[in-house]
């Protein structure tokens, strides 16, 4: 029987009602007690990493979670992290970069209603996640409402419904049906031992373009970051009025990455003049079909490893856990 480590971080799944609304308070053992049937197919140990509403999750917490998995990696066959849904996609993406070449499943799950409620989705999600951790292929993923989504491809698309997550620009890795794992995407076997990373840069900013935004927003964002993600329109481009500010950012050595506000199908700066000139004039990186969550956390990881432009370019465009297919 396989041995799984259940890591609790808080979130809705572990919440109880208070006078101020739901707040996480259940321990991981209390979560496990609500799904007694899992003892039939796995042995589970628990650890309380933190007890937060996921709105409060920060990069330091991702490093903490990565450290817990690294310290316990030899002793377990798989890992399940209970997490709030609001930033789960960010955490799944971050762990995809912090833990690479893993030969064990690392599964994130949570729920839209607390596990103590009668009509909750929590018990099914937790049971499915533990089952996938015993049967599924290696790598970081989210298991939610029967869907298995690569850790770099998840995006929360609904705030209340049980089918809260979707896999963006990539198929589900698998589904869980009646206690069985139905796989769709083969996961390549890892080459060599797992690699654990211990540095992330917090100096990453996102600037979302809106019509009429003052040009000074670029300068303000640039003062706060080493890496700036510009979320543009359509397949990507920069309005003429902002080019002087972009010039200053590039000359100041900032890493600038072009993304798109359109969720499906990704960016392509080569299509229109407003994007093509960015490639020709500045050699800017773009996100192609990456999710915003993967873009943010990957840039944090990249800048945590190097500030050399050539290394940044190579690492950012190197595919990790299905994050980039261009």
- Torsion sign over Cα 33, 34, 40, 44: negative
Active-site residue 55, yes or no?
A: no
The answer to whether the beta carbons of residues 98 and 139 sit under 8 Å apart is no
User: Which pLDDT score is estimated for 217?
Assistant: 94
192: left (phi over 0), alpha (psi -120 to 50) or beta: left
The per-type count for the chain, helices as H runs and strands as E runs, is 9, 18
Question: Per residue in 33-81, pLDDT tens?
Answer: 999 999 999 999 999 999 999 999 999 999 999 999 999 999 999 999 9
User: Which pLDDT score is estimated for 136?
Assistant: 76
In this structure, of 66-75, 100-109, 232-241, 284-293, the range with the lowest mean pLDDT score is 232-241
Give the DSSP H or E segment for 206. strand 204-208
At 257, give phi and psi (nearest 5°): -125, 130
Please provide the CATH number assigned to the domain covering 2-196: 3.40.50.1170
Which position among 9, 12, 87, 109 bears the catalytic label? Answer: 12
Fold classification of 204-316 is Rossmann fold (3.40.50)
pLDDT at residue 262 is higher than 80? yes
Angstrom distance (rounded) from CA 39 to CA 27? 18
pTM (two decimals): 0.96
Q: Which residue has the tokens 């670029």?
A: 218
Q: What residue segments make up the domains of the chain, in order of their start?
A: 2-196, 204-316
Angstrom distance (rounded) from CA 173 to CA 137? 9
- Do domains 2-196 and 204-316 share one topology? The answer is yes
Angstrom distance (rounded) from CA 320 to CA 277? 28
Question: Per residue in 74-86, pLDDT tens?
Answer: 999 999 999 999 9
Instruction: Select, from the ranges 14-23, 45-54, 235-244, the one with the highest average predicted confidence (pLDDT).
Output: 45-54
């Amino acid at each position: 029987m396989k041995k799984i480590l259940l890591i609790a971080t808080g979130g809705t799944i572990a919440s109880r009602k208070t006078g101020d609304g739901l707040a996480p308070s259940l321990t991981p053992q209390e979560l496990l007690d609500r799904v007694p049937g899992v003892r039939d197919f796995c042995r589970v140990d628990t650890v309380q990493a933190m007890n937060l509403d996921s709105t409060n999750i920060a990069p330091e917490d991702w490093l903490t979670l990565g450290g817990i998995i690294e310290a316990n990696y030899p002793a377990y066959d798989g890992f399940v992290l209970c997490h709030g849904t609001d930033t789960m996609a960010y955490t799944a993406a971050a762990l995809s970069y912090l833990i690479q070449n893993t030969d064990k499943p690392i599964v994130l799950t949570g729920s839209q209603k607390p596990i103590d409620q009668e009509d909750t989705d929590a018990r099914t999600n937790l049971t499915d996640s533990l089952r996938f951790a015993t049967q599924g292929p290696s790598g970081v993923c989210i298991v939610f409402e029967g869907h298995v989504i690569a850790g770099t491809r998840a995006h929360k698309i609904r705030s209340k419904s049980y089918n809260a997550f979707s896999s963006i620009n990539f198929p589900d890795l698998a589904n869980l049906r009646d206690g069985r794992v139905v796989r769709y995407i083969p996961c390549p076997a890892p080459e060599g031992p797992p690699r654990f990373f211990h540095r992330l840069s917090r100096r990453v900013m996102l600037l979302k373009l809106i019509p009429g935004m003052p040009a000074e927003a670029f300068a303000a964002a640039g003062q706060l970051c080493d890496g700036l993600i510009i979320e543009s329109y359509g397949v990507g481009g920069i309005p003429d009025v902002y080019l002087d500010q972009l010039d200053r950012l590039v000359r100041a050595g900032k890493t600038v990455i072009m993304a798109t506000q359109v969720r499906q199908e990704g960016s392509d700066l080569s299509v229109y003049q407003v994007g093509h000139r960015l490639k020709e004039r500045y050699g800017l990186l773009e996100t192609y079909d990456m999710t915003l969550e993967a873009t943010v956390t990957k840039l944090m990881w990249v800048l945590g490893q190097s500030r050399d432009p050539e290394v940044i370019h190579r690492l950012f465009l190197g595919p990790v856990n299905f994050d980039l297919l261009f």
